[in-house]
Amino acid sequence: MNIKAALTRPLYRIYEERLAASLDRGRLPGHIGVIHDGHRRYARAERLPDYASSYRVGMDKFIEFLGWTEALEIEAVTCWLLSKENLSRPSEELEPYYEVLVELFERLPQALDGHDASVRFIGSLDLLPADLVAAAKRLEERCSAGSRRITIALAYGGRQEIVDAVRDLVADLAAGTDDVAEIAAGIDVEGIADNLYTSDLPDPDLVVRTSGEARLSGFLLWQSAYAEYLFVDVYWPAFRRVDFLRAMRDYTSRNRRFGL
């Protein structure tokens, strides 16, 4: 640790605690969606030897982040760790990330032990390597009973989710009739929502994206129609508790109108 960091860290801790104490707990989001962006740019900015080093810093931060949300009693968190579009990246970038994700999924049961949290995955997991899918399934099995909901989006695309939801809805409707007009009439907002990957979760109240990119890139497209958005300049591996608390302060100061 450099001298400047050593001097400023105690001050940040005091500031963090004051910031946490000042939050209106009754106005905090019940469900937060997070786009964990900026690993590769962080690696370049910090002159790390490889992307895997940045990925590991980011996954350590992910575990810290889950602790921060628990401390504020956030009931649900949906975390986008890999998009479907990311799968088109070169194998020399993807394979190290897959390895780091397997490591994360093996660590999480111990990190979440005693924290009343359950974990589930959404996305096109069939497109992922078998060892990564197996690690995800083991994590779901080992963390299946908690009341706090942690959802991890892997090989996830928002458009694909909506397509899958409509397909499932149409299949259900077609099981009861072969009348095309009747099937078409049965396709409605409630039916699609009931077939989304996250149909058992409330819609997100807040979506946070790190790294300074001001776009959703397809994350929870349907569910985030009336969410609040916050785009943070810092790369995910450098995201701090103070950044999280500032995001919560920003959210609690907003007047949500839900399109009214």
Report yes or no on 85 lying in a domain: yes
Q: Which residues of 22-32 are buried (b: 16+ CB within 10 A; e: fewer)?
A: eeeeeebbebb
Q: What is the pLDDT of residue 2?
A: 59
Question: Coil, strand or helix: which one is 29?
Answer: coil
CA distances for 47 relative to 4, 69, 89, 144, angstroms: 20, 30, 21, 39
Report yes or no on 59 lying in a domain: yes
Enumerate the active-site residues. 37, 86
Q: What is the pLDDT of residue 13?
A: 82
CATH number of the domain to which 109 belongs? 3.40.1180.10
pLDDT per position as a tens digit, 38-51: 999 999 999 999 99
Report yes or no on 189 lying in a domain: no
Beta bridge partners of 209: 35, 231
Report yes or no on 232 lying in a domain: yes
CB 163 within 8 A of CB 218: no
Report yes or no on 211 lying in a domain: yes
Report yes or no on 260 lying in a domain: no
Q: What is the pLDDT of residue 121?
A: 98
pTM (2 d.p.) = 0.93
Distant-in-sequence, close-in-space partners of 41: CB < 8 Å, separation ≥ 6: 211, 235
What residue has token string 């397809």?
218
CB 259 within 8 A of CB 80: no
Q: What is the pLDDT of residue 12?
A: 75
Q: What total number of domains does the chain contain?
A: 1
Question: Coil, strand or helix: which one is 156?
Answer: strand
CA distance 23 to 250: 10
Q: What is the pLDDT of residue 69?
A: 97
Report yes or no on 24 lying in a domain: no
Distant-in-sequence, close-in-space partners of 260: CB < 8 Å, separation ≥ 6: none
- 153 membership: H or E segment, kind and range: strand 148-153
Beta bridge partners of 35: 80, 209
* Average pLDDT score, the chain: 94
Query: Which positions of the chain have pLDDT values less than 50?
Result: none
- Per-residue DSSP letter, 150: E
pLDDT per position as a tens digit, 6-22: 656 777 788 899 999 99
Domain that holds residue 70: 30-156+197-251
Report yes or no on 179 lying in a domain: no
